Structure 1
Amino acid sequence: MTQAVAKEPAARPRRGPDRYVPFTEHMGVVRERAAAGEAVFSLELREELLNNHGRGHGGVVMTLLDCAMAHAALSRVNYEREVVTVDMHIAFMGPSTGKLVATGRVTGGGRSVCFCEASIVDASGDVAAQAMGTFRYRDAA
């Protein structure tokens, strides 16, 4: 009897605009664009990403907002540094369905921190959530 041997995954970038983040890949998050302090991310909601009401789970919505704001902050410095989320405030405006599109924008900051905002529009064109976030820049490890 032969035993299957697991292959090592191909090396994937951990930095730059095409960085590999296993969690967001698992969720199906897609980077549409990120440049000059603005980023757009999308996600097609599927059953395992829904809450008990059949709408987008709050954690999924928050993750998408975080991705959009973090990449907005990263694009502001041409992905030459890294960011960590320091603080996020989210307002859930209504239930979300279908494809979600998050747009994040830099609103201010300096060398060490970046302030951002983001919003999500759902498949019906309604604003599902809005967020503000603070991100700390750090040098790449």
Structure 2
Amino acid sequence: MTQHNGFPNHIPFLSELGVTCKHSEGGRSEIELALEKRHENSWDMAHGGVLMTLLDVAMAIAGRSADTQGRGLVTIEMKTSFMAPGRGTLSARGQCVHRTTTMAFCEAEIVDVDGKTVARASGTFKYVKRIPPQRTAAEGADTGADG
């Protein structure tokens, strides 16, 4: 299986951000991002959207790693709490806390290099069997009509 920055699938958005997957197994995950100027808000700290992306992905990867059928996940809902400015290299750790046959309930937290909690989230995810549409090499776009 080809790995993409540690992820089992190529996710263009995460590649563009520079996110790497350090661990994904048994309902747990850890992803990492070394913040750059492009990730910051006007206060020279991680933009909230970047933090929410890390939390969302950490939870989804944890939920996906808990599934024996190899299905993907889509986010149904997510609650986020911001606790401290995000600076430097951030690690997001996710955990699948409960599963049903169709849903995963997950939690995640982001910590900085000193171990300080930057943000926490909980989310509900739906397992899906659908294979994403193939992208054409020339366009980089979905070929399916329902995208």
Q: What range describes the TM-score normalised by the shorter chain of this pair?
A: 0.7 to 0.9
Residues 1:84 and 2:74 are matched in the alignment: yes
Divergent runs of 4+, >2 A: none
Residues 1:52 and 2:65 are matched in the alignment: no
Alpha-carbon shift at residue 77 of structure 1 (Å): 1.0
In 1: Cα distance, 2:56 partner to 2:34 partner: 16
Alpha-carbon shift at residue 79 of structure 1 (Å): 6.4
In 1: Cα distance, 2:104 partner to 2:70 partner: 14
Unmatched segments (≥5 aa) in structure 2? 132-147
Alpha-carbon shift at residue 138 of structure 1 (Å): 1.1
Q: Percent identity at matched positions?
A: 37
Residues 1:112 and 2:102 are matched in the alignment: yes
Give 1:30's aligned amino acid. T
Q: What does residue 72 of structure 1 align with? A: 62
Cα RMSD after superposing both structures: 1.6
Task: Rate the CA distance shift 1:23–1:79 in 2: closer, same or farther, 3 A.
Answer: farther
Superposition TM-score, scaled by structure 1 size: 0.86
Q: Which has the larger radius of gyration?
A: 1
Task: Rate the CA distance shift 1:69–1:79 in 2: closer, same or farther, 3 A.
Answer: farther
Superposition TM-score, scaled by structure 2 size: 0.83
Alpha-carbon shift at residue 59 of structure 1 (Å): 0.4
Q: Count residues with an aligned counterpart.
A: 128
Q: What does residue 116 of structure 2 align with? A: 126
Give 1:71's aligned amino acid. I
